[in-house]
């Protein structure tokens, strides 16, 4: 049996593992896919403290080497369900079942994709899912934001002072706003909005050069496209097991406790207003600290 099992090897999960192992605990990290999570797929990162500029894969490898060097154990497996019994939690996975005194869920979340031609081809070459991460790479350039909701508006407002021009492509005849009042449109006066439009293709050679809209005959020239149509947490299998919000994010208290005893959550999978590498590592540290505290008191 392990003291702490961390599910997910992104920045939140690896931070939890590092903190847990340094406290002298027996730690296992379960990862179903790529070590490092989404960070490993990011071309360049400029907003993580301590690095002027770092490739996502390099940062992910640094996290992994630190955890591995401390003696954290890693296994490739996928969590299917959780079951708590008295002083332990059972992690039912595809390849086997693991026992732990505490569990930290760092499952992450994925950006919803447009699923159009060229989207995957130009990822990191003009296609982005995070304005906070990549906006500065498009200084004085023309960009498009794909989306109709609050996230699209937030993205456009963030990019306005940085980019030469910002346009929004909305598939609806109006914006679907929940957090913003209608008056927000006054702040979008410098943003051209293409209503009732869908992006059908993203074109370019080495990087994005234009997008095809089903509402326009000619391709719309642009240097980049920010996809802001929401995110999806990887928690479908936890419905009825843990308390989730309406979007599927795990509800926690300020100490990262979930609704199940001995189970904590951190990173992009929890209800949080900001989803960045720095907030992932912060919540990962909190989750581990609380798990360690619980084990010490047991």
Question: Distance (Å, rounded) from C-alpha 215 to C-alpha 169?
Answer: 10
Q: What SS3 state is found at 155?
A: helix
Q: Does 263 have pLDDT greater than 80?
A: yes
Question: Distance (Å, rounded) from C-alpha 4 to C-alpha 21?
Answer: 9
CATH of 113-227, one of 3.40.50.12170, 3.30.930.10, 3.50.50.60, 3.40.30.10: 3.50.50.60
User: Among 2-6, 34-38, 198-202, 287-291, whose mean pLDDT is lowest?
Assistant: 34-38
Share of the chain above pLDDT 70, in %: 99
For the domain made up of 2-110+231-297, give the CATH fold. Answer: FAD/NAD(P)-binding domain (3.50.50)
Average pLDDT over the chain reads 93
Interval 188-233: pLDDT, tens: 999 999 999 999 999 999 999 999 999 999 999 999 999 999 888 9
User: Among 18-27, 62-71, 170-179, whose mean pLDDT is lowest?
Assistant: 170-179
Q: Where are the domains of the chain?
A: 2-110+231-297, 113-227
Q: Does 27 have pLDDT greater than 80?
A: yes
Interval 141-158: pLDDT, tens: 999 999 998 889 989 999
Q: What is the DSSP code string of 78-125?
A: -EEEEEEETTEEEEEESS-EEEEEEEEE---EEEPP---BTTTTTBTT
pLDDT attached to residue 43: 67
Interval 94-132: pLDDT, tens: 999 999 999 999 999 888 899 999 999 999 999 999 888
CA 132 to chain CA centroid, Å, is: 12
pTM over 0.85: no
Q: What SS3 state is found at 191?
A: strand
Interval 35-80: pLDDT, tens: 988 887 776 788 889 988 888 889 999 999 999 999 999 999 999 9
| Residue 128 dihedral angles phi and psi, to the nearest 5° | -140, 155
2-110+231-297 and 113-227 share one CATH topology? yes
């Amino acid at each position: 049996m392990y003291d702490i099992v961390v599910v997910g090897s992104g920045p939140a999960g690896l931070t939890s593992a590092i903190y847990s192992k340094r406290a002298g605990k027996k730690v296992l990290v379960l990862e179903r896919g790529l070590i490092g999570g989404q960070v490993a797929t990011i071309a360049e990162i400029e907003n993580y403290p301590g690095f002027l500029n770092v490739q996502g894969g390099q940062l992910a490898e640094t996290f992994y080497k630190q955890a591995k060097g401390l003696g954290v154990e890693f296994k490739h497996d996928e969590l299917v369900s959780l079951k708590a019994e008295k002083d332990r939690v059972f992690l039912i996975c595809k390849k086997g079942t693991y026992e732990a005194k505490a569990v930290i869920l760092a499952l992450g979340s994925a950006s919803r994709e447009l699923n159009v031609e060229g989207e995957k081809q130009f990822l990191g070459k003009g296609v982005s899912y995070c304005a906070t991460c990549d906006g500065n790479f498009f200084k004085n350039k023309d960009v498009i934001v794909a989306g109709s909701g609050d996230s699209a508006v937030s993205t456009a407002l963030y990019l306005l002072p940085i980019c030469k021009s910002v346009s929004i492509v909305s598939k609806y005849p109006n914006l679907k706003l929940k957090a913003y009042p209608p008056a927000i449109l006054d702040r979008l006066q410098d943003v051209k909005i293409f209503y009732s439009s869908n992006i059908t293709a993203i074109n370019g050679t080495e990087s994005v050069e234009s997008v095809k809209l089903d509402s326009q005959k000619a391709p719309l020239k642009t240097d980049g496209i920010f996809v802001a149509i929401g995110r999806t947490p990887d928690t479908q299998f936890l419905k009825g097991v843990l308390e989730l919000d309406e979007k599927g994010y795990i509800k926690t208290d300020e100490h990262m406790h979930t609704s199940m005893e001995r189970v904590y959550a951190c990173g992009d999978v929890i209800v949080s207003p900001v989803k960045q590498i720095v907030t992932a590592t912060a919540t990962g540290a909190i989750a581990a600290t609380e798990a360690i505290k619980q084990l010490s008191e047991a």
